Amino acid sequence: MTDRRATVGVSLKMYFGHAQTLAWCAEVARVAREHDGVDVFVIPDFVSIVDAVRVFDGSGVTVGAQALSWDDAGALTGEVSGSVLAEVGVGVVEVGHAERRRIFGETEAIVASKTAAALRNGLAPVLCIGEITEGPADAAADECLRQLEDALNGAPAGKVIVAYEPVWAIGAAQPAPTSHIRAVSARLRAAVADWTDRDGSVVIYGGSAGPGLLTELGDDVDGVFLGRFAHDPAALAAVLQEATR
């Protein structure tokens, strides 16, 4: 990494109970205070968001949400709007994760509408993109750039956290090969560098990311997006230590 600040994010998905989530957040808040040179965001389940905002107060950690509605209000049973998320202190929101696309049928059009909803409510979308099957890095980068363009077409200005997550690497024993991640992420970062209305946007890697990976990826990424490997706060502390270097 160079002298720019790294970004490290964690999504807890639906693994923890409420009390377990808050205990984890308290420990992560302590760890984050010891690594204040890194931009950290944590995405708990919806029920835990308000309490997580309280626990992380003063730690520098941004609390996120795992999804949002494409609309800001209305008869949408079970949905949560970006306006409400912003009201309670959320700063980032996951959009387009492979599980949302595969399990819940979120199409490219839905991803685009949710990306726009996040940005118009002042939330930074953690925009998840990635190729479905393993293949050459050039082809993967082409597909990711297409997904990125589709998701941001007509969207309001604002910071975007581009999360490159090759679908074939999510939940795998190992992340994608370092050379593959670097090649795809470098092209994504080049595209992000050309944006004129999205100051602060970054490219991070997810997909079985864990301790040790960030050091290997060097300047081709701006950080990592962690899942199960961050369930142990000590592992997250190790990643934050890498990021401060």
Q: 88 is written with which tokens?
A: 């309670």
d(CA 136, CA 130): 13
d(CA 244, CA 47): 31
Is residue 139 situated within a structural domain? yes
Is residue 77 situated within a structural domain? yes
Is residue 2 situated within a structural domain? no
Is residue 121 situated within a structural domain? yes
Kindly provide the b/e burial profile for residues 33-65, where b requires at least 16 CB atoms within 10 angstroms of the residue's own CB.
eebeebbbbbbbbeebbebbbebbeebebbbbb
- pLDDT at 168 > cutoff 70: yes
Residue 65: give the domain boundaries: 7-244
Of all residues in the chain, the percent with pLDDT exceeding 70 is 99
Among the options 97, 106, 143, 180, which is catalytic?
97
d(CA 80, CA 8): 25
Active site residue 134: no
So what's the pLDDT on residue 173?
Answer: 84
- pLDDT at 130 > cutoff 60: yes
So what's the pLDDT on residue 119?
Answer: 98
Q: How confident is the model at residue 245 (pLDDT cuts 50, 70, 90)?
A: confident
- pLDDT at 2 > cutoff 60: no
Among the options 143, 165, 180, 242, which is catalytic?
165
Q: 115 is written with which tokens?
A: 């990306």
* Residue 168, CA atoms < 13 Å, CB-side half-sphere: 11
Active site residue 149: no
d(CA 89, CA 130): 29
Average pLDDT over residues 21-50: 97
Is residue 217 situated within a structural domain? yes
Is residue 1 situated within a structural domain? no
Backbone dihedral region for residue 41 (phi beyond 0: left; psi -120 to 50: alpha; all else: beta): beta
- Domain of 165, CATH number, reads 3.20.20.70
What mean pLDDT value characterizes the chain? Answer: 96
DSSP letter string, 115-134: HHHHHHTT-EEEEEE--SS-
Residues in the chain: 245
Domains identified in the chain, total number: 1
d(CA 120, CA 156): 6
Is residue 72 situated within a structural domain? yes
